[in-house]
Amino acid sequence: MTSEVPLRNSLLFRLLITSVLISLVSIGATAWLTVRGTTLAIEQERGQVLADDATIQDTLEGFAAAHRNWNGVERTVLALSRSTGRTIILTTRARQVIATSHRPAAERLPLNASAVIDPLHVAPFTDQGVGPAGQVSRIDPRAVGPYRLPAEERARLRQLAREEVTCLYDRAGVRAHIVEEASGRPAVRTLRPSAGSTQACASKDLFAPTPTEAAALAELTELVRSCAERNHVRLPAPLTITVDFRVDGDDSAQGSAAADDCVEEGRREQLAAHVAPAALLFVTGPPRTATAVFDLSPAGTLRVLTTTGLVLAATIAVTAVIAIRLVRPLRALTNAARAPSGRHLRIPVTTKDETGYLAAALNDLSERRERTDEQRRVMVSDIAHELRTPLTNIRGWLDAAQDGLAEPDSALLTSLQEEADLLQHIVDDLQVLAAADAGTLRLRPQQLNLRELIEQTMSAHQATAHAGGVETAVHAPDGLSIHADPVRLRQVLGNLLSNAIRHTPPDGRVTLTARRVAGAVAIEVRDTGGGIRQEDLPRVFDRFWRAEQSRSRRTGGSGLGLSIVRQLVRAHGGDVTVTSRPRVETVFLVRLPC
């Protein structure tokens, strides 16, 4: 791999190309979106204005249809003005102000009104029914006047409508719902058209006029007859007007159209006293700032291109500076990683960004690797030294027996057996530590009576303690239980007790205590031996470490016991610590979760 990176593969070059492409795409997209958004905003604003005007007109027509005069319309006008942001003025035909949302605006009315609010002359409602001649009523359907049903008549008709809905569903499986007209009369609407099933369920009582409607229709009938006499229109005899204001019984198209005109005129005459008088509506918009749009003239195009060029140049310059700052430390990292000395050079940390953090992490990794290599070398040396001693003893005795210098008696065999046991003990300890390091150490936890386990462990070391003149004691409450591996926990306590007994002089004391603490169980092994110096405490749990490097390895053990204790305790999710006062006492504290 060459030291120089080709330009096409350079991170700096790729960052610059990427930045240019992103800038061009973003500028073009921004321009397109702005133009498109401005166009849509203008269209939406126009559509919103038309929708607001239609809402204002419809709301005021509904008010006029439901009230005999304009009293109380001020509140409706103010509410419409707040919701639409428009200025609303309502006047009489003579331009006398009835209600306004802005008093100053009412002093200078526009020349032409926006609309005429007259519930008896509105735009045709195609959803309210077409007559035989194709006529569409121009009377607001919300203007009901004397046709408004009282509560008892509404309740009776609604019950009939419910029966018809039930009948449709039971007989033909047709789903229907009930809608209430402005007069309070219910009407049944099916969700899908049906063939003849609706005729079987239709109730004549539902379509028959109620007493209130009959009285109003009788009055309307007289008005229609008067209109027919004035216009010489022949009406069917007898004249019957249905509740949907149609003349029943005239088959002539021309006569039907004339009769419908008279019905329309009669309804206007009948409803005139029940609706508000016609009024003029003026709707104006508040002063608005002009919407900024793109100027696509030559001067405007030049400004757009100049701005685009400046943005592109600034983007390239900023990207180049940032890319150079990124590439420089990366090159330093590469040179340090490929140093020919075999040792990782320390990388100077000059920034506090991600690259600086990477350099610091690599420096830490290098230091940890060097420490690990040193520990590995020391461990290999210690393992070789530990294994060499019993192997040398075994080989020496075997050579002596082969040369006839020693008798192969029971004493020699016992000595060789002890050396072999020591070798097996070291190998077993190394296997435990290797499994713990690899994360393959398996535990078989179960619920244990901790007091019984402690007493059994102390009993196993009782003979060794008595041989050394060491007094032992156990303090643990009854019923203290823990979920742990009994074999591994006994191994932990055994290693701690054997160390404590070995380092406690005659007439000393070793105490094993267990108690419950917050969220855990604490086990203490306390001895009155020589103790451990403060500077040696951090190394107590290191492998093959001994406080007395000059003493016999046979009496001092292999140096792996406390390392195994720490690994087993951590495997249980606990921790082990040590405190010591030289020539007073040493305390190993094991904390295991409950």
Tell me the average pLDDT across 503-518. 91
Cβ-contact 473, 561 below 8 angstroms: no
The C-alpha torsion from 105 through 111 and 115 to 117, rounded to 10°, is 70
Q: How confident is the model at residue 584 (pLDDT cuts 50, 70, 90)?
A: confident
b/e for 96-115, b at 16 or more Cβ within 10 A?
Answer: eebbbbbeebbeebeeebbb
Secondary structure class of 139 (helix, strand, coil): coil
pLDDT at 339: 67
Question: What pLDDT shows up at residue 378?
Answer: 65
Segment 279-303 shows an average pLDDT of 65
Beta strand 186-190 pairing with 240-241: unpaired
Domain ranges of the chain: 1-119+275-338, 126-272, 383-436, 442-593
- 68, 119 Cβ separation under 8 angstroms: no
**Beta partners for residue 586, in sequence order:** 527, 580
Q: Tell me, letter by letter, the H, E, C secondary structure of 467-513.
A: HCCCEEEEECCCCCEEEECHHHHHHHHHHHHHHHHHCCCCCCEEEEE
- The burial of 326, by beta-carbon neighbours within 10 Å (0-12 exposed, 13-18 middle, 19 or more buried), is given as middle
Burial code of 437-465, b = ≥16 C-beta within 10 A, e = fewer?
A: eeeebeeeeeebebbebbeebbeebeeeb
Q: What is the pLDDT of residue 591?
A: 93
The residue among 314 and 121 whose pLDDT is bigger is 121
| Across 234-263, average pLDDT | 75
What number is the average pLDDT over the span 44-62? 84
Confidence of residue 287 (pLDDT cuts 50, 70, 90): very low
Number of separate helices (H) and strands (E) present in the chain: 16, 15
How far apart CA 10 and CA 12 sit, in angstroms, is 5
Least Cα distance to 592 among 494, 487, 500, 481 occurs for 481
For residue 256, what is the enclosing H or E element? helix 253-271
Whole-number average pLDDT of the chain: 79
Cα 41 to chain centroid distance, Å, stands at 32
Give dist(CA 579, CA 588) in Å, integer: 7
Give exposure, 360-370, as e/b (b: 16+ Cβ within 10 Å): eebbeebeeee
The model's confidence at residue 353, banded by pLDDT at 50, 70 and 90, is: low
Lowest pLDDT segment from 273-287, 333-347, 452-466: 333-347
pLDDT band at 132 (very low <50, low <70, confident <90, very high): very low
Residue labelled with tokens 């200025």? 87
- For the four alpha carbons of 192, 195, 201 and 207, in that order, the dihedral sign comes to positive
From the CB of residue 15, how many other CB atoms can be counted at a distance below 10 Å?
17
Q: What is the pLDDT of residue 84?
A: 86
The two tokens of residue 497 are 């007790």
Paired strand residues for 513: 475, 524
> Does residue 79 register a pLDDT over 80?
yes
CA 271 → CA 68, 146, 263, 545, distances in Å? 10, 8, 12, 111
pLDDT digits (tens, 9 = 90+) for 175-193: 888 898 888 889 888 876 6
Peptide bond into 582 cis (omega under 30): no
Of 52-61, 75-84, 373-382, 495-504, minimum mean pLDDT range: 373-382
Q: For 136, which DSSP code?
A: B
Instruction: Work out the end-to-end distance of the chain between its first and last CA atoms, rounded to an integer number of angstroms.
Output: 58
Stretch 129-138: mean pLDDT: 54
SS3 268: helix
Task: Provide the sign of the torsion angle of the four alpha carbons 218, 223, 227, 232, taken in this order.
Answer: positive
Q: Is 525 helix (H, G, I), strand (E, B) or coil?
A: strand
Q: What fold characterizes domain 442-593?
A: Heat Shock Protein 90 (3.30.565)
Query: Could you give phi then psi for residue 498, rounded to 5 degrees?
Result: -65, -40
Does residue 167 have a pLDDT over 90? Answer: no
Q: What is d(CA 526, CA 546) in angstroms, rounded to the nearest whole number? A: 19
The DSSP 8-state label assigned to residue 406 in this structure reads S
Do the Cβ atoms of 556 and 493 come closer than 8 Å?
Answer: no
Distance CA 332, CA 321 (A): 17
- Summarize pLDDT for 145-161 with one digit per residue, the tens: 898 999 999 999 899 88
Query: Which has the closest alpha carbon to 558: 511, 519, 502, 515?
Result: 502
- Give yes or no for residue 2 having a pLDDT over 60: no
As a whole number of angstroms, the distance between CA 262 and CA 301 comes to 66
CA distances from 463 to 81, 469, 498 (A): 102, 10, 11
2-16, 216-230, 407-421, 517-531 — which is least confidently predicted? 2-16
The answer on pLDDT for 397 being more than 70 is yes
| Sign of the torsion angle spanned by Cα atoms 364, 367, 372, 373 | positive
Mind listing the pLDDT tens digit for each residue in 470-491?
999 999 998 888 999 888 888 8
The maximal CA–CA distance of the chain, rounded, in angstroms, is 159
Q: What is the pLDDT of residue 1?
A: 41
Q: What is the DSSP letter of 581?
A: E
Percent over 90 (pLDDT), the chain: 16
| Residue 444 CA neighbour count, 13 Å, CB half | 3
Neighbouring residues of 100: CB distance < 8 A, sequence distance ≥ 6: 77, 87, 88, 89, 90, 106
DSSP 8-state assignment for residue 146 = G
Q: Within 10 A of 468 (CB to CB), how many other CB atoms are there?
A: 15
Q: Are strands 520-527 and 115-117 parallel, antiparallel or unpaired?
A: unpaired
For residues 449-476, average pLDDT: 90
pLDDT at res. 579: 92
Banded pLDDT at 12 (limits 50, 70, 90): low
Band (pLDDT 50/70/90 cuts) for residue 578 is: very high
Tokens of 573: 């999710």
**Exposed (0-12), middle (13-18) or buried (19+): which is 402, by Cβ within 10 Å?**
exposed
pLDDT level of residue 24 (50, 70, 90 thresholds): confident
